[in-house]
Amino acid sequence: METILHYAWLIAVIPLTASALIAMFARYLGEKNAWKVGSGLMLITFLLTVGSLIAVIQHPHEAGGPNFYTHPAWHIHFNWANFGPYEIQMGLQIDNLTALLLPMISLVSFAVQVYSSEYLHGDKRVPRFYSAINLFTMGMLMLVMADNLFLLLISWEIMGLCSYLLIGHWYEQEWPRMGQIKAFLTTRVGDVGMMVGIFIIFFAARDLTWHGLAEKIPELVHDPATAALLALGAFLLFTGAMGKSAQFPLHTWLPDAMAGPTPGSAIIHAATMVAAGVYLVGRAFMVYGNVPAWVLAVIAFVGAFTSLFAATIATLRWDIKEVLAYSTISQLGYMIMAIGLGGWTAGNFHLLTHAFFKAMLFLTAGSVIHAHHHNQLLHKMGGLRKKIPVTFFAWMVGYLALAGFPGFSGFFSKDELLLAAATWHNDAVHGWVAMLPYYMALATAFLTAYYMTRATWLAFFGKPRDQHLYDHAHESPRAMTIPLIILAIPAALIGWFGTPVFYHYFHADWMMFIPEFLHLPGIEHTAEFSTELAVTITATVVGLSGIFLGWLLYAVVKPETRAKWIAAGKPIYTLVRNKYYVDEFYDLVAIRSTQLISRAISWFDGAVVDGMVNLVGVVGIAVANASAWFDANVVDTLVTMWADIARWFASSFRRLSTGYVQQYMLTFVVVIVASVLLFQVIR
Amino acid sequence: MTTDLLMSGQFWTFIILAVVTLISTYRMVSVPLITHAALFMALSFTAVAGIFLLLQAEFVAAIQVLVYAGAITTMVIFAIMLSGIGDIKAERKSKVKVWHSNPFVVVVGAVFAAFMLYLYSTANLPKEAAGQNMAKVADIGMSLFTTYVIPFEVASILLLIAMVGAIILTAKEAES
Amino acid sequence: MQLPIYYPLGLAALLFGLGLWGALTRTNAVRILMFVEIMLNGVNLNLVTFSRYYWQSSPEMAAKAPILTLFIMTVAAAEASVGLAIILAMVKNRGVIDVDKVNLLKG
Amino acid sequence: MLSLIVFVPLVFALIMLFVPKTQEKVLYWLAGIGTLIPFVLSLVLAAQWNTANASTEVYAKGMQFVEHLTWIPAIGVNYTIGVDGFGFTMIMLSALLFPLAVLASYKYINTRVKDYLILLLILATGTNGVFVSLDFMVFYVFWEIVLLPMYFLIGIWGGPRREYAAIKFFLYTLIGSVVMLVGAIYLYVTTGVGSFNLLQMAAETSKLPIDGLTTFAFFALVVGFAVKVPMFPFHTWLPDAHVEAPTPISMLLAGILLKLGSYAMVRISHPLLPQVAEKYAWVLFVFGVVGILYAALAAMAQKDFKKQVAYSSVNHMGFFVMALAAASVLGPKDPAMAQVALQGGYFVTIAHGLISPLFFFAVGMFYERTHTRDLGKLGGMFLTVPVAAFMTAFIAFANLGLPGLAGFIGEFVALTGSYPAFGLWVLVAGAGLVITAAWHLLTMRNVLLGEAKKEYAGLHDVTWKEKLIFAPMAVLIVLFGVYPKPILNVLQGSVEVLSKVMELGGK
Amino acid sequence: MPGAINWTTAVHPNYVFIMPQLIITATLLLVMIVDFYVKEKRNLVWVTLAGVVVSLFSVFFAATDEDIKLGMTIGEPREFFGGMLVADGFTFFLQAVLLGIAALVILLSVDYVEKFLRGAYLEYYQVLLSATLGMMFMVSSRDIVTIYIGLELSSIGSYILAGMLRKDPKSNEAALKYFLNGTIASAVLLFGVSILYGVSGQTSLEGIAAALSGTGVVAAAGDALVPLIVTGIIFVAGGFAFKVAAVPMHLWAPDAYEGAPTPVTGFFSVGPKGAAFGAVLRVFLVGLGVAPFTERWTLIWAVLATASMFVGNLTALMQTNIKRMMAYSSIAQAGYMLVGVVATGTEPAAGTSAVIFYVLAYALTNLGIFAILTHLDQEGGWVSISDFKGLVNRNPAYAWAMLLFLVSLIGIPPTVGFMGKLFLFQAAAKSGYLWLALVMAVNSVISVGYYYGVVKAMFLETSDKPTLKPSFGISTTVIVSVIGVVGVTLASNWFVQMASNAAAMLK
């Protein structure tokens, strides 16, 4: 398998080729064949990635443990450009983390493409969709393979572009058009911070490659000033992650991103792109791990807060995709938090599991919507489990994984994550504050279980609330269900590769595969087994009680009673229901004020700057004249003032020339006599 | 001013001539008839010629009488007669604009003269330089035809062109 | 000379000033011309005075003032003839000799 | 060779004088050939480009393809031309854009074709001349040659308010250039170097003490150039000029004319007076950064598509100004980063020279079809003219600085270099980036997306001519976005030299 | 007392040197004789032109004469004819320029004389020649007597020329105003001369200079005499300021220019003005360039220069009659040239060469403009700016030539006007009058305001008037001017060399 790594660069090239092919031959391929090219090539990519993973697993690690961070299993690079005297290396690398993520990305992409062949049946712009998806996959693959921050940024933005394109897939409608702009701009805000972060890191280290940074940063932080600077850079870098991974306060774009086709959302806004932020923080851990601790603390709290915040919102969503969207924000918050807590492995592990089950959940939701005649609203569903059994099965796998039901993948990764929270230790945070993330994470776990149960019950159980829709509901075609199954398998099982608690009892090596494979020496602290066990039990209890509460409220309690309770907690309900008014706040503060300023500046530019410049250049006189000649309508007060002054002078000069010759002579003589007198005075 | 000076004929001659000059010049301004003005001009020129004589510049005095008192005055009178403007009796003074009016000009003229006088008096001019080589006509002639031969010739062209100009500007149309 | 230099110089300045006054106040073009001649006379007087008082050290220098005066007179005569011709042309053409009435050109 | 590049268009212009004006095809052919010859020649030069061949003469140290003829030795003016990285990239850009502009004019300009093409060719001579001049006077002559053709090209073939726009352009640049001339002459006189050769002058002027007059001279030069760049707040002529100019002229205006200013800054004002540049770098920085943000906001509020694009020029050139200011600050402190800043700033201008003309071209495509540039009236173009809309979207993304396209590299490197000089103030420029992105997206939403409009049904999609113009530029935009090394390498040597000058000047 | 003057030392003639003047004089007389014998009076043009051209050649011939060259190479100007004439580069340069002006004016007025001056070729050319002769004497002497006589000869010629349109009241009026103002001015000038003579006893300039630097009366009176001398200098300056039409002694100029026949206006704007500048330079540098006085007259000229530039340019903005506008323009141009005169205070060589080069530049440019004006005048009479409407359609060659001339007047390269301004800038900067250079720069821009009106009318407006058929005399003048405007720029080294040689000898 070693040799397969020689062709690892194909992993990025093949999807790009697919994208280009589909774009170029769009008209020729049409709706019928575009998916074949895309998914076919993606399958090859998937096989390659799997091969690479195996190769990496077999790769003899450096002595003293998995030192993959500085010595990737595979690395190619070349001198891409010179920034001044600095050579910028451009290259691809595969190390353990990358190797683990690559198959996930390509598999999800493959599944999504197969799924879309049916889902987008009859759509006008299928080739465009496939081209974008393949381009996107390329971006994501390149992002995880990038050996430097610069290439990462480029991939990052390519994905942003694809996200923009896919959200706006149905650009005739208003929602997608606004959603795509919102997504692009919100992430752009983060990106600017991230770019400045990169500048700072480059300024401090004069290097952007991962291995270079890993070597230089630990030495650089010896100087407190540089360390503080790097901390700032690291924080700004994190703002990029906040934008991409939809962390509070840059989270608002993700729900609106659901305006695009569901399969696209599945891969971009659930599985991969949004996780890029998490990946970035993880990948740049050589920075975060070395700079002053407050940065990681901030990251942890941002993550924790986001996860809880989004989870509360998700409890009151009625659109099935929106529930999933807020759930995604919440789960991303989890991962961010985990890495901020130092739970590097846990965060990346959750990234992996979440990618599978959330992608699958989205596809399932798409299937539900497809089956339900494009109805996305939960309160019109109900009892669908009989009509669409395969979909229901897949949903249940995803639901249980997300809710943290023991045995499913999400349970194990969440467990790891909670453990990291429970044993958090940070120099910048002390006392009860240090325990906050843990309790917030538990609350999130509880809410997650609750809202997922709510959604599941409303959609699949109980009585149909809209009989007409229910009657016409039908199971999706095989092209849609098979991908669900494909994804259901890892979604259910992958968690077993990282089960320290079970390992304690069973001692099967594969149970510790992921923690071992992704182990970062010197960063994570090992916990006592008793703590691990306690956390596992707590998590299980919390998850189950969440499920129970959901079941209680929606299966047992009558809707009227629920309404009464809601009325009782009206203010809170309204607040949460309106997503804490963050959108409205932005609309007021960011968007409207920007528009206002921009209009003001536009006016200012025409009226004042134009005038000021003319004022500064005395010669604006002539401009004024010019404008008087051609354009009496230019309201340019300052300029006209100058023009008036000039004209006044000019006409008074002109008035000197009266035509009376004696007056000319007199002027002549007077001037001479006057100057003679003057020269007596000034000598 | 010494009594010596007051006793000298030179002084009184000068004063008389100066008074004649100034009065006749003033009359040039004030007489209504332009022909009279022309005659006063001739008188003024002649008086100045006297001063030239007093200053021992006989040649200049002679030319002054010939050219100014003679030629130019005659020409002016001829012109007046030719154009028939001599009939115009009362000629108004310039009434263009206030600042252009008589008093202002008087001030200008007066200021000029007064100021020049002031300048001369403060300039600490020496009394008289040494040497008494009065320019004789022969010297002048010598200079004129040696050193100043070029200006002299140019002056002749000047006169020629003045003649041509006078003709072209006033001659009747030859044809049509 | 016993006569202080200020006397003839003063007379020259007064002549010049009177000439100015006349030239600027009288509107008859011919009369203006005459006053210009008066001014030139003032200049001549100046020259001769200076020459008489200061520059008698050599015949060459002594001759300079009379010669310059001679040229001035010549030029004055030529100017007068051209000027009178111009005035006559104008009188013929427009029937005015008053310079105040001559202001077609202005502004 | 360089002389040929400069003067071949002029020769063709003279030839065209004798072609009857009814022979429009012949005229177009002649103009096409007259602009293509410099293009081919510039490719030949590109093949010969080699830093090792640089001249070692004192009047052209480090320059390549130097030509040196005496012109007015009495006052030390010589016809010295040559290029380094700064000039060479610009020559290439100009050589590329002029044939495309001629092509874009074909069938677009229908009145007084002969005059138009002749003026265009004279313009080419002027701009090319500016980019190769190593003597201030030669530079100034070419600089001013540019002025009049441009005035007429806007004033005769422009939009409804063309006269106003043309004279505004003319006066602004003229004011700038006369002031600049005074500044340069002061330097020439005060150093007593006796030569207008820029390199020889720089050797002396960079040692001048920073007093009132040197400061005056510096700002006289900078303002003269800033008007062309155009740097905030001297930019107000630009939107007017662009809005009124015909499309090919807008392309040239954005692609080349603005570069005259940026080129002149790196060639003249900053090498000549690095010490003053360092002291007053904050002024340039403030203007640059404010310009970035300000122009972005101003663009956002425009209702005229073309005006928006014009403001985006101000925005992008702001990056150049900012980077230049950064470089002059960093020169004495951190020359390596100064090089980064310079390289980035100059790359911005090159990228802008590729992107902006194409953007104007895209706007022109819509205008030609719909006869409106009103953002409120356009819409649904993706459904009406998909290819044209795709082109526009491509350009818009390039313009807003999407990675992988040329615009991004410049901005990224420029900001990388600027950060060490000005710290987090570069975030203001970053805000400009966001707002730039915002209005691009909003404009795309208005113009390209949405339901197809009835009144625009049946518009024909892009023609071959348009594809022919779009393709080479787009290819270059992608190429330099993915692999900027060729340009960066060409710039490298010049950047090193300039940073060294700044290093010495600042000390 | 015969024998007091040594004939041989006093006169020391060289007829090679006076040959140009002699030839002109001879032509002046020859024309009269030829007039008797030719039927077609138009042929007198050839005689006159031949005379001027031969005279022009004889200038070059004189400049290369062994005897004179000997003097020129050792840097000491040689005096002939009793010191009344001086053989130096300055003389030759200006004489050549003045003869060139005469030749061009002769050419451009061929048809005009036929049409408006009743075919009075003899008188017209005779007077023109005599005025030229006077100007030639003005610039070739170091003695106030000759300068004065030359000045008067040119003035009287000018009065006559201005009044040549006998039947035209405006022409009468122009002549009258010019005459009356001119006589007053010469009286004032002479009053100043008389004071200078009084304190020095000399009419030769070096004699005056020697006296002013402290001998004779000046030594006797000491500092108390300074105010009197300054007053004399002011009178002299006033007289010359009238001749060059510097503000505030400019008021006659617009009226005289407007009323005079158009070719004559062209002649006025360059000929007497150029000669007067020659005389100004000579008188002030050679005669009055003595320590305590230099700064005084520098100040006077600086004030006059500033006033001339501003008043000339601003008032020109308000004009609708193009001849009047050109009058104000020429006032402004005089202001520019005065900047050079100011510069001579501390930098005699630079200032002088700048001024005389500018005289050449201005003459070439303005005569071209007046050739076209004359043509338009012949077609329509009253020349207002609106007569220029659509000139590009009526006669494209004229329109483009006119554009070139206007550009030259503004001072935009590549025209001779720019070179002229450049030298003026340089001189001003060298002598520490940077602010004057700036005023000049600002004024160049203001001047665009009114020149632009003409350009706009020519190119941006249309007219239904018939096409203009070029005529021989005018076309030749325009061609010569165009060649001059561009050619002198390109070959400026030769001219600059000449000018600076000339300036170096002026002492």
At A592-636, the pLDDT tens digits run: 777 777 777 777 776 666 655 555 444 434 443 443 333 333 333
Chain C contact probe: residue of B96, B170, B172, B173 with most C CBs at under 10 A: B170
The model's pLDDT over A378-420, given as tens digits with 9 standing for 90+, comes to: 777 777 777 788 888 888 888 888 888 887 888 888 888 888 8
CA–CA distance, E371 with E375 (Å, rounded to integer):
6
The model's pLDDT over A311-365, given as tens digits with 9 standing for 90+, comes to: 888 888 888 888 888 888 888 888 888 888 888 888 888 888 888 888 888 888 8
Is residue B106 within 8 angstroms of chain C, CB to CB? yes
Rounded percentage of chain A residues whose pLDDT exceeds 90: 0
Chain E contact probe: residue of B96, B157, B163, B176 with most E CBs at under 10 A: B157
Crossing angle of helices D162-191 and D237-244, rounded to 10°:
130
The model's pLDDT over A110-145, given as tens digits with 9 standing for 90+, comes to: 888 888 888 888 887 888 888 888 888 888 888 888
Q: Quick one: pLDDT at residue E53?
A: 94
Give residue D39's pLDDT band: very low, low, confident or very high (50, 70, 90): very high
Of C28, C51, C57, which has the smallest distance from its Cβ to B91's Cβ? Answer: C28
3-state SS assignment for residue A462 = coil
Is residue E320 within 8 angstroms of chain A, CB to CB? no
Residues of E in contact with B57 (CB under 8 A): none
Rounded percentage of chain D residues whose pLDDT exceeds 70: 100
The model's pLDDT over D50-83, given as tens digits with 9 standing for 90+, comes to: 877 888 888 888 888 889 988 888 888 889 999 9
Summarize the confidence of residues B34-59 as an average pLDDT.
Answer: 89
Judged against a pLDDT cut of 90, whether residue E52 lies above it is answered with yes
Helix, strand, coil distribution of chain B in percent, nearest 5: 75, 0, 25
The distance of C105 to chain B (nearest Cα, Å) reads 16
The pTM of this model reads: 0.87
Q: Quick one: pLDDT at residue D430?
A: 85
Residues of E in contact with D74 (CB under 8 A): 493, 496-497, 500
CA–CA distance, B116 with A676 (Å, rounded to integer):
10
Is residue E285 within 8 angstroms of chain B, CB to CB? no
Give residue A67's pLDDT band: very low, low, confident or very high (50, 70, 90): low
Chain B contact probe: residue of A676, A678, A679, A683 with most B CBs at under 10 A: A676
Q: Highest-confidence range of A142-151, B2-11, E48-57, by mean pLDDT?
A: E48-57
Largest CA distance in chain E: 77
Q: State yes or no: chains E and D have 3 or more CB pairs below 8 A.
A: yes
Q: State yes or no: chains E and B have 3 or more CB pairs below 8 A.
A: yes
- The C residues from 39 to 58 touching B (CB cutoff 8 Å) are 41, 44-45, 48-49, 51-58
- The B residues from 65 to 124 touching E (CB cutoff 8 Å) are 116, 119-120, 122-124
Judged against a pLDDT cut of 80, whether residue E215 lies above it is answered with no
CA-wise closest residue to E175 among A663, A671, C105: C105
Is residue E174 within 8 angstroms of chain C, CB to CB? yes
Size of interface A-C (CB pairs under 8 A): 30
Q: Quick one: pLDDT at residue A207?
A: 84
Q: State yes or no: chains A and E have 3 or more CB pairs below 8 A.
A: yes
3-state SS assignment for residue A328 = helix
Residues of B in contact with C68 (CB under 8 A): none
DSSP structure class, residue A87: E
Residues of A in contact with B105 (CB under 8 A): 666
Summarize the confidence of residues D267-273 as an average pLDDT.
Answer: 89
CB contact under 8 A, B5 and C10: no
Residues of D in contact with A168 (CB under 8 A): 449
Average pLDDT, chain D: 87
Q: Quick one: pLDDT at residue A619?
A: 43
The model's pLDDT over E70-125, given as tens digits with 9 standing for 90+, comes to: 666 666 777 888 788 888 888 889 999 999 999 999 998 888 888 887 778 888 99
Is residue B107 within 8 angstroms of chain C, CB to CB? no
**Tokens in use for E298?**
């520098």
Rounded percentage of chain A residues whose pLDDT exceeds 70: 91
CA-wise closest residue to A618 among D416, E107, E440: E440
The distance of E224 to chain B (nearest Cα, Å) reads 5
Neighbours of A678 (CB within 10 A): 12
3-state SS assignment for residue C28 = strand
Residues of E in contact with B125 (CB under 8 A): 217, 221, 225
- The pairing of strands D64-72 and E78-80 is unpaired
CB contact under 8 A, E176 and C86: yes
Neighbours of A351 (CB within 10 A): 28
The distance of D441 to chain E (nearest Cα, Å) reads 39
Is residue B125 within 8 angstroms of chain C, CB to CB? yes
**Tokens in use for A60?**
């003899």
Q: Which chain B residue lies closest to C28 (C-alpha atoms)?
A: B91
Lowest-confidence range among A396-400, D126-130, E64-68? E64-68
Q: Quick one: pLDDT at residue A422?
A: 81
CA–CA distance, A488 with A493 (Å, rounded to integer):
8
Is residue E25 within 8 angstroms of chain B, CB to CB? yes
CB contact under 8 A, B165 and E150: no
CA–CA distance, E450 with E453 (Å, rounded to integer):
5
Q: Quick one: pLDDT at residue A133?
A: 87
Q: What are phi and psi of A146, to 5 degrees?
A: -60, 140
Is residue E163 within 8 angstroms of chain C, CB to CB? yes
Judged against a pLDDT cut of 90, whether residue A571 lies above it is answered with no
Is residue E37 within 8 angstroms of chain B, CB to CB? no
Q: Which residues contact D14 (CB under 8 A, 6 or more apart)?
A: none
ipTM of the predicted structure?
0.83
- The E residues from 210 to 249 touching A (CB cutoff 8 Å) are 226-227, 230-231, 234-235, 238, 242, 248-249
Is residue E184 within 8 angstroms of chain C, CB to CB? yes
Is residue C20 within 8 angstroms of chain A, CB to CB? yes
- The pairing of strands A86-94 and D64-72 is unpaired
Q: Quick one: pLDDT at residue E354?
A: 92
Of D337, D441, D492, which has the smallest distance from its Cβ to A185's Cβ? Answer: D441
Q: Quick one: pLDDT at residue A68?
A: 64
3-state SS assignment for residue D385 = coil
Judged against a pLDDT cut of 80, whether residue A640 lies above it is answered with no
Of B147, B154, B168, which has the smallest distance from its Cβ to E150's Cβ? Answer: B154
User: pLDDT: is A500 or D55 the higher one?
Assistant: D55
CB contact under 8 A, B170 and C48: no
Judged against a pLDDT cut of 60, whether residue C69 lies above it is answered with yes
